[in-house]
Structures are given as structure tokens and as C-alpha cells.
Amino acid sequence: MNTKTSKYEIDMCNGSILDKLVSFSIPLMLSGILQLLFNAVDIIVVGQFTGNEALAAVGSTTALINVFVNLFIGISLGASVLAARFYATGQEKEMSETVHTSITLALISGIAMGIIGVIAAKGALELMDTPDNVLNLSTLYMRIYFMGMPFFMLYNYGAAILRAVGDTKRPLLFLIISGATNVVLNLLLVIQFHLGVAGVAIATVISQCISCILVLRCLYLSDGSYQLRFNKLGMKTRYVKQIFQIGIPAGIQSTIINFSNVLLQSSVNSFGSVAMAGYTAANNILGFLYVSVNSITQACMSFTSQNYGVRKFKRMDKVLLECLGLTVIVALVLGGGSYLFGAELMHIYTKSTNVIECGIDIMLYTTVTYFLCGIMDLLPGALRGMGHSTVPMILSVIGTVGTRIVWIYVIFPCHRSLDFLFISYPVSWLLTIVMQVICFYFVRKKVHNS
């Protein structure tokens, strides 16, 4: 077992579990919430000071950007799992090679995504039927945004390595610094220099560059086995293969589930602008719930991976049980609170009574039952920590996407109402949980008998 070399690291394989899970999860939770708030500032600044066309231009690129980046962000989970395992077992050479392979992979994929994004931006936006009046602005925003993709990928992979050793505090600090810079630059470039959409995109790229420099500097100055040296950068095939085995299924799962949300959006659109506005606001609130609960899933994956590496299987069971408890408590408190104070929260987004009522109706089925989604995501997180990623991905896609497709195209047309449409959320989560529990039972049995 690797000895602690930094006050930022967490010993995941010894001692009490709950306080360490909380210590790991809270900075991750805050990072996700801050990221959403910083993204909201982008929208607010461009909407308030540039106009509706600019606002539509930035908003219309979100789904497309997510499709591009989700796969590669998923792969960073593979790097985190592998690094956690080598760190826990004290395999310093393997840990170092994993770090340098991961950073090289991040750099190459970031450059590739940047080139593809710049070239394909306009064509991809045209395929999505982006209106002509915002097409040029949307294309400009996307092209500038994708120029910062190497910085974005390097930060995410660097942060994944730090999370692997239990350090979630410094990535949070780096995010605060870069996010605050982004806000200041937004105001300066949009209001002072009247750069509009281009100003928001440039501010984003500069802030991503800052967070990238900070995380790479952190790895460079480390004295541990995860120390980064630029002359050692390179890709070892055996580590790339292991990273891909865990990371690619995670990325595919995220991408396909996002696609199912696009299908759901089309059904909401059929109810008109009031329903669309209510769903947009409710979905934004759901985003805060997601990052809060997902931080516990990330903790479960890292803790499981380290304990799997040192073959502490009973401790892995305890980690999962503690994470289940935390997930249910956090989701019920935040989800239930979101619904109880739904009117007040919806007022942030709109003053329309009809939109507020519609949003609250949707939140009854999404936020109150969100603990089911937390459990559904937690089990694949534990399985990824043990190196099993493909089957949980397939089950998640069948359970969530499959159920929603059947619901939208077969069941929903016979019972056309928003209430009935959004019952598909808890139903799909429950079905997926059943399948994930069965999968987890057999994997756990195999691991404990190994």
C-alpha cells in the first residue's frame, strides 16, 4: 500500500470510510455546482448584453458540444480507475507510466477534437436544423470553443489522476480560479469590447487554459508516484487498452443517454412553448441534482478501485453500502427540497404562472424520485472500480434509453399528457436498477471467489 505523501491525498484502504467518502465527495459536488453556475453566467451575460440571437447561438451548441466531449470525458474515468489501482498497490512504475500515457492521450484527443470541431462545426449545426439567423454566430462560437479543447482535455485527465489518489480539493481550487477568471473576462470582452458570442467563447478558452496550467503544474511539482515529467510523455499500448476498456463504455453510455433526452425533448415540444419553458427550467434544476449525486458515484468508483487493487473485498462492500446511504440521503434532501421550494426556484427562471406550474409538475416525477437515478448510477460506478464497464453500460442503455424509446413511441401516444410522459423517468430508473443489481451480484460473487 502506498503511504500518504500529501495532505491532499486520502487513504481509501484503511480506517473509517464514511468521513473519507464525505471529504472526497464534497469538493467534487462543489466543483460540479460551480461549473453549472459559471456556465449559467455565460448564458446570462450574452443574453443580457448582446441579444436573443446571440443567446440562441450559444444555447444551440450545447447538445452538440456534449455529444463531442462525453465520449472522451468517459475515457478519463478509465484513467482514474487504473491510476487508483496502481497507487493503492504501490506500483510506482506502473502508476507513473499510466499518468504519462493518460496525459499524452488527453493531449492527442484534445488536438484531434479541436481540429474536427473547427472543420465540422457548420455542417453539424446545419444537420441539427440550426436557424439561418443564428447559424453563423453558432458556428463562430463552436469553432472558438473547440480551439480550447486540448486545454479542456488536459485539465479533465489531470484532475482524474488527482481524484485517483483522493485529491478532490485542488481541482476544486483550480476550477474556482479559472471560473472566476471566466466571469471577469465575459464581462470585459462582451460589455467593454462588444465581442458578443466570440467574447464568451474566448473567455471560456482562456479560463480552460488557466485550469490546464494549474493542474499540470500540480502534477509536475508532486513528489509522489503521479509526478509528471514532460520528457516522459508517451503512450504505452497496454495502459491505453485498459483505459479504453473501462472508459469507452462509460463515454458511450453518457452519449446515448443524452440522445434519449433529445428524443424526450421532441415529445415535450409537442405540448407548446409553456411546456418547453417549464421543462427547460426543471431540467436545469435537475442538473444541480445530478452533479451532487454523481460526486458520490465518483467516490464509490475511486474507493472501490483502490480496495480492489489491494484485494480488500469486504471493505469494497462497505464502501458500496455507505455510498448507497449517502446517495439516498443527498438525493432525497435535495430532490425533495427542490420540489417543496419548486415555486421559489422556478421564479429564478420565469415569472409566468403557467410555466412555473408546468415545471413543478415535471419536478414531481424527476427530482422527488431522483434517489432511484442515484442508485442506478452507483452500481455501474462500483463495477467500473472493479474493471467491469461494458456490461453495466449495455444494461444502462437498455434500461434507460430502451424504456424511454418504447415509452415515447408506443405507450405515450395512447396517453398524451406531460405527467404520463415524465413517469418514464422513475420507471426507466427502476428497471435499470433491477438489471444492475443482478449484474452486480454475479460480478461480486466472481470477485469474492477469485
Please indicate, yes or no, whether residues 171 and 281 belong to a single structural domain of this protein: no
Cβ pair 80, 161 in contact under 8 A: yes
Predicted local confidence at residue 382, as pLDDT: 96
432: in domain:
yes
What is the H or E stretch that residue 161 is in? helix 149-164
SS3 416: coil
For residue 33, the tally of other CB atoms under 10 A from its CB is 15
Distance of CA 244 to the CA centre of its chain: 18
Please indicate, yes or no, whether residues 138 and 44 belong to a single structural domain of this protein: yes
Please indicate, yes or no, whether residues 289 and 190 belong to a single structural domain of this protein: no
369: in domain:
yes
Please indicate, yes or no, whether residues 254 and 228 belong to a single structural domain of this protein: no
Predicted local confidence at residue 210, as pLDDT: 97
373 to 317, 324, 369, 391, 399: CA distances (angstroms): 20, 11, 8, 18, 11
6: in domain:
no
15: in domain:
no
Predicted local confidence at residue 6, as pLDDT: 66
At CA 90, angle to CA 86 and CA 96, rounded to 5? 55
φ and ψ of 311, to 5 deg: 60, 40
Distance of CA 263 to the CA centre of its chain: 20
> Residue 254 region, left (φ>0) first, then alpha (ψ -120 to 50), else beta?
alpha
Cβ pair 212, 181 in contact under 8 A: no
Measured in Å, how far apart are the chain's first and last C-alpha atoms?
20
Please indicate, yes or no, whether residues 384 and 294 belong to a single structural domain of this protein: yes
374 to 200, 249, 291, 295, 441: CA distances (angstroms): 33, 19, 10, 10, 18
Please indicate, yes or no, whether residues 294 and 317 belong to a single structural domain of this protein: yes
Please indicate, yes or no, whether residues 280 and 429 belong to a single structural domain of this protein: yes
Please indicate, yes or no, whether residues 171 and 270 belong to a single structural domain of this protein: no
Per-residue pLDDT of the chain (450 residues; tens, 9 = 90+): 444 456 788 999 999 999 999 999 999 999 989 888 887 777 778 877 887 778 777 766 776 787 777 777 888 999 999 999 999 999 999 999 999 999 999 999 999 999 999 999 999 888 877 778 888 998 999 999 999 999 999 999 999 999 999 999 999 999 999 999 999 999 999 999 999 899 999 999 999 999 999 999 999 999 889 999 999 999 999 999 999 999 999 888 888 877 777 677 778 877 887 887 788 788 888 889 999 999 999 999 999 999 999 999 999 999 999 999 999 999 999 999 999 999 998 888 778 888 889 989 999 999 999 999 999 999 999 999 999 999 999 999 899 889 988 998 899 899 888 899 999 999 999 999 999 999 999 999 999 887
* Gap between the Cα atoms of 10 and 434, Å rounded: 32
Q: Which residues contact 33 (CB under 8 A, 6 or more apart)?
A: 288, 291, 292
Domain residue limits at 37 = 26-235
Please indicate, yes or no, whether residues 80 and 47 belong to a single structural domain of this protein: yes
Predicted local confidence at residue 46, as pLDDT: 81
13: in domain:
no
Cβ pair 146, 113 in contact under 8 A: yes
45 to 131, 187, 195: CA distances (angstroms): 22, 7, 12
78: in domain:
yes
Based on the structure, what is the number of domains in the chain?
A: 2
Please indicate, yes or no, whether residues 213 and 268 belong to a single structural domain of this protein: no
19: in domain:
no
Please indicate, yes or no, whether residues 302 and 382 belong to a single structural domain of this protein: yes
φ and ψ of 429, to 5 deg: -65, -45
Please indicate, yes or no, whether residues 211 and 274 belong to a single structural domain of this protein: no
> Residue 312 region, left (φ>0) first, then alpha (ψ -120 to 50), else beta?
beta
Cβ pair 356, 285 in contact under 8 A: no
